[in-house]
Chain A
Amino acid sequence: MAEIVIRNLRKTFGDFTAVQSSSFRIEDGEFFMLLGPSGCGKTTTLRMIAGLELPSAGEVYIDGEEVGQKPASQRDIAFVFQMFALYPHMNVRRNIAYPLVSQGMPRAQVRAKVAEVAGILGIEDILDRPVGGLSGGDRQRVALGRAIVRNPKCFLMDEPLGALDAEFREHMADELRALHDRMGATTVYVTHDQLEAMQMGDKIVVMNHGVVEQFGTPQDIYDKPATMFVADFIGSPPMNFLRFHGSVATGDAHVRLHHQVLAVPALREPFDGGMVYGVRPEHVRLSDAAGYRGEIIAAEYLGTTQIVTLKTHNGEVKARIPSDQRARMGETVGLDFNGATVTLFDSQSGRAIRSDLNEGVLSHG
């Protein structure tokens, strides 16, 4: 098992920069998520850790050893591909045994090891089947079997659930997480699905356009986004952005939006110019007493809660409120924001303005 450190990692393909300059640290035994939209460089980053791409610059350390320019076969890692990449000309048993055969392990030992792994994954009964006819879930399990059979230093997974049906995905996600908890192996997992990342990850790196936007625990990333991109990408519906102009000083605990004073966590830096008041839908309440008003233009019923969309002077706001609360279309109501959870952003650069809330989290980025 291993700790993985990425330092100033960069990858260019001709004129195209896939990864700009990434740095982060993956602790031993962590379930680590690389999250971002397609084309953000997360897969390229993973492939550089694996050795399937060589970095243009920067270092990759696995267990303290710099392996950036080493071939994949010498890194002692396992990789689970999105399309599984099971060798189609071999049966399940030979697929799982293949990494052991390359090490020259004696046959009897290989057999025992494959049987053990098959037991862990519950695939003893399909060992002698060809991989062609397997269901998506079984293919996934065989791919995992091939990964864990060798006890590698770490597991790298490239959207391993992406090829599965939606209903089966949830089940496999639980299975994967349980497997990780049992084995305690460092796992790096690439996904574009923010729910998957939040659900399974110990830590998340959010990437966009080849840049690491934020790095931290799921809670930190959700509650204390470092950039507007993160705030928008994580959460469904995403964070509300109320745009306004103004000026704040260090220590201020409120801002003025459309003649109303709204609370924010005490600021740690001054700012002047275009700003964004960011608040999660679950921290918006409808309250007649509140001075900040909005008109209800839509309501989506979600069972226990409902998402109400309101038109305000600073843009649309979505509020997640109990579904038994009445929300009538066209009605103008007061909006009460939970000020302690608010993040202010610089609307130009999109970065969060430092406050009591996010101090200490941003420096990671």
Chain B
Amino acid sequence: MSGASVTGPSRRLKWAAGILVVGYALITLMPLLWIMATGFKTSPDSIAYPPKVIFAPSLEGYVNLFTTQTRQTADYLAANPPQTWYEKIVHDRGMVITGTSRFGERFMNSVIIGFGSTFLSVVLGTLAAYAFSRYRIPLKDDLMFFILSTRMMPPVAVAIPIFLMFRNLGLSDTHAGMILLYTAVNLSLAVWLLKGFIDEIPREYEEAALIDGYTRFQAFTKVVLPQAATGIASTAIFCLIFAWNEYAFAVLLTSGTAQTAPPFIPTIIGVGGRDWPAVAAGATIFLVPVVVFTVLLRKHLLRGITFGAVRK
């Protein structure tokens, strides 16, 4: 397209918009960049004033994140020289490694619960949205409103009843309980988003498949699902981001076996002084799955955000 198009934005406007977007991105990314940088600082560098922008990188934070340590006497340290690079980092600070920390386990909990609830939300949401979109259901509008109404207050507002319910049902501090909870919270969003997407798929495609000799379910899986891929992908991203970042319920309902990373990361601070590099390292690693997932599905996400704005 030429820059002189009548309906398109002018070249100057495009530049202005570009600068605005890049500027906004820098502002929002700054805290993230700072966290990532802090993860590679030594403990003194992390709290230096004025703050250090240029610093000697260190993996101290990451080593601290994944290990538990104890202080030892100089004699013991001299008698036991470090075997590996990470033992050396610890050794130089007068400590020895006593074992692995629970971060890996907490991180895996987050993966299981986050992706598990996302999968469940999307599967149930797609089926429900398809039914709402295609079948004559009595009280359809009321049911849709009822589903939406679960989103009308912050989920934490019902924390106490859920806490009691989970305790009575033995769901407290279990993976199944957390998956169920996050699915319940995400389902309304999933149903509403996906219904919009499925509404946009003409019924004729399914009818053509029915005529071509496929069953209703085959028509759904072979024709509707590929068409709804964009909607499913963007819904999955929204669901994952919520479940992944959720903090309040995770603090309230998990402690031992099913604790996710968000409530765990702040507890790192307490171990052996203010270990900001370890916290920052934990936050950085915690970001990775969502970033990867979002990057993989990004072309669908854009469509998901602008969904409904433009008719085909």
Q: A and B from one assembly?
A: yes
Q: Are A52 and B210 in contact (CB under 8 A)?
A: yes
Q: Are B223 and A87 in contact (CB under 8 A)?
A: yes
Q: Please give, as numbers and ranges, the residues of chain A lying within 8 Å of B208 by CB-CB distance.
A: 79, 81, 85, 87, 146
* Range class of the B interface residue count: 10 to 19
Q: Are A103 and B227 in contact (CB under 8 A)?
A: no
* Complex-state Cα separation, A89 to B225, whole angstroms: 11
Stretch of A69-77, A171-179, A210-218, A250-258 lying at the B interface: A69-77
- A236 beta carbon closer than 8 Å to chain B: no
Q: Please give, as numbers and ranges, the residues of chain B lying within 8 Å of A50 by CB-CB distance.
A: 211
Q: Are A72 and B223 in contact (CB under 8 A)?
A: no
Q: Are A85 and B227 in contact (CB under 8 A)?
A: no
- B257 beta carbon closer than 8 Å to chain A: no
Q: Are B207 and A79 in contact (CB under 8 A)?
A: yes
Known A89-B226, A89-B227; contact A81-B213, beta-carbon cutoff 8 A = no
- A99 beta carbon closer than 8 Å to chain B: yes
Q: Which of B208, B215, B223 has the most CB of A within 10 A?
A: B208
Q: Please give, as numbers and ranges, the residues of chain A lying within 8 Å of B75 by CB-CB distance.
A: none
Looking at chain B's contact residues, the main secondary structure is helix
* Complex-state Cα separation, A162 to B213, whole angstroms: 25
Q: Are B210 and A83 in contact (CB under 8 A)?
A: no
Q: Are B211 and A77 in contact (CB under 8 A)?
A: yes
Beta-carbon contacts under 8 Å, B199-250 to A: 202, 204-205, 207-216, 218, 223, 226-227
Q: Are B204 and A81 in contact (CB under 8 A)?
A: yes
Known A87-B223, A89-B226, A89-B227; contact A102-B212, beta-carbon cutoff 8 A = yes
Q: Please give, as numbers and ranges, the residues of chain A lying within 8 Å of B204 by CB-CB distance.
A: 81, 83, 85
Q: How far is the CB of A100 from chain B (nearest CB, A)?
A: 9
Closest chain B residue, CB of each to CB of A83? B204
- A271 beta carbon closer than 8 Å to chain B: no
Q: How far is the CB of A59 from chain B (nearest CB, A)?
A: 20
Q: How far is the CB of B255 from chain A (nearest CB, A)?
A: 47
Known A87-B205, A88-B227, A89-B226; contact A79-B211, beta-carbon cutoff 8 A = yes
- A98 beta carbon closer than 8 Å to chain B: yes
Q: Please give, as numbers and ranges, the residues of chain A lying within 8 Å of B226 by CB-CB distance.
A: 89
Q: Are A99 and B213 in contact (CB under 8 A)?
A: yes
Q: Please give, as numbers and ranges, the residues of chain B lying within 8 Å of A77 by CB-CB distance.
A: 211
Q: Are B214 and A102 in contact (CB under 8 A)?
A: yes
Q: Please give, as numbers and ranges, the residues of chain B lying within 8 Å of A88 by CB-CB distance.
A: 205, 227
- A284 beta carbon closer than 8 Å to chain B: no
Q: How far is the CB of A4 from chain B (nearest CB, A)?
A: 15
* Complex-state Cα separation, A77 to B212, whole angstroms: 8
Q: Please give, as numbers and ranges, the residues of chain B lying within 8 Å of A89 by CB-CB distance.
A: 226-227
Q: Which residues of A contact B (CB under 8 A)?
A: 50-52, 71-73, 77-79, 81, 83, 85, 87-89, 98-99, 102-103, 146, 150
User: Could you show 20 A-B contacts with beta carbons less than 8 Å apart?
Assistant: A51-B211, A52-B207, A52-B210, A71-B215, A71-B216, A72-B207, A73-B212, A73-B213, A73-B215, A77-B211, A81-B204, A83-B202, A83-B204, A85-B202, A85-B205, A89-B226, A99-B212, A102-B212, A102-B218, A103-B213
> 10 smallest A-B Cβ distances: which pairs?
A85-B204, A102-B213, A99-B212, A85-B208, A72-B210, A79-B211, A89-B226, A81-B204, A73-B213, A72-B211
Q: Which residues of B contact A (CB under 8 A)?
A: 202, 204-205, 207-216, 218, 223, 226-227
Q: Given contacts A87-B209, A146-B212, could you give 18 more A-B pairs where the C-beta distance is less than 8 Å?
A: A50-B211, A51-B211, A52-B207, A71-B216, A72-B207, A73-B211, A73-B215, A78-B211, A79-B208, A81-B208, A83-B202, A85-B202, A88-B227, A98-B209, A99-B211, A102-B212, A103-B213, A150-B213
